[in-house]
Amino acid sequence: MNKRHFLKTTAALAAAAAFGSAHAQTAIKFQLDWRFEGPAALFLQPAAKGYFKAAGLDVTIDSGNGSGGTVTRVASGTYDMGFADMAALMEFHANNPDAPNKPVAVMMVYNNTPAAVLALKKSGIAKPADLSGKKLGAPVFDAGRKAFPIFQKANAVSNVAWTSMDPPLRETMLVRGDIDAITGFSFTSLLNLEARGVKAEDVVILPYADHGVKLYGNVIIASPKLIKDNPAAVKAFLSAFAKGAKEVMANPAAAIETVKARDGIINVALETRRLQLAVDSVVASPDARKEGFGQVNPGRLSLMASQVSDAYGTKTRIDPKLVWNGSMLPSVAELNVLPPAKK
């Protein structure tokens, strides 16, 4: 065999190997809980940096329209994995006990629920007790509204009246004075209020996590079919995600470019703040540092299952063992992703 023929053969073999490996990639359809906003960088960064690809995965990331929809679409098989509120996942399990493909949480991302009550300082509301007898507003499916009975019980709040609206009207109605307070994700509603001309210092935020409600927030979920057929792919996804998330938390301003690449009309400064607020309040929270990124505390998960069963009035009681599977989590070293605690 002459040298030229040898080189051509070697090149052909390399091309064939590359073609084969490209086709060996596992396709994963992933749905976010919401639009392409700041926190989406946690997922878009590992995709943009090629970490999923390097792990043998061909990941497609789509925006969502609420955690309930994400859970339903993973259950239906439209998506393989997703990002959704743990309470929404629990609710689906308890209300659909016979569903054949109930998604399972495989990694904790928002160690604390971002749910909070927000009011304007001029309302005189400064603490949970001040909410008694007040008019609250939120969409009917809002996570904070659905979990409000837990907050109410923990803080002895009584006699609240609810007004329902579509999400875009929530903060507008608060600013107009139609309602006294709202429930929502702290880092979303605060920035929405600012966009309507309210100064941050004029907003009162009562995070559930700071007022006796230790609910978990958003988790990465996977379909039982994917877990059964290809647990290695789930583990590879989580490892690549952790690697990207570490970079995002170390430098949110740089990571926000991955969000802009998916939605060119975002307000970069605003979404960078949203991402930083999310990281500080729910991803790198004191509880997350105590329990370890990605993981759950079994006792806390059991308490949440019981609280959500009661607050949401589910058809059956939630079994915490059925909603969580931590067996595919990366190593402790790979999960060491949280930035240094702020002084």
135-137 and 161-163 strand pairing: parallel
Query: How many whole angstroms separate alpha carbon 150 and alpha carbon 215?
Result: 9
Do 222 and 294 belong to one domain?
yes
pTM: 0.91
Residues in CB range of 337: below 8 A, 6 or more apart: 242, 243, 245, 246, 249, 293
Domain boundary residue among 163, 195, 210?
210
Any domain includes 340: no
Do 206 and 226 belong to one domain?
no
Any domain includes 69: yes
Owner of token pair 């600012």: 194
pLDDT single digits (tens) 157-178: 999 999 999 999 999 999 999 9
Do 89 and 228 belong to one domain?
yes
Any domain includes 201: yes
Any domain includes 35: yes
pLDDT single digits (tens) 123-145: 999 999 999 999 999 999 899 99
Residues in the chain predicted with pLDDT less than 70, given as ranges, are 1-23
Q: Which residue segment(s) compose the domain that 228 sits in?
A: 25-111+216-323
CATH code of the domain in which 156 resides: 3.40.190.10
Do 100 and 226 belong to one domain?
yes
Query: How many whole angstroms separate alpha carbon 156 and alpha carbon 182?
Result: 18
Any domain includes 2: no
What 3-state DSSP class applies to 330?
coil
Any domain includes 233: yes
Do 305 and 225 belong to one domain?
yes
pLDDT single digits (tens) 322-336: 999 999 999 999 999
Do 249 and 319 belong to one domain?
yes
Nearest to 262 by CA among 18, 22, 21, 48: 48
Do 97 and 124 belong to one domain?
no
Query: How many whole angstroms separate alpha carbon 71 and alpha carbon 67?
Result: 6
Q: Both ends of the chain: CA-CA distance in Å?
A: 68
Any domain includes 9: no
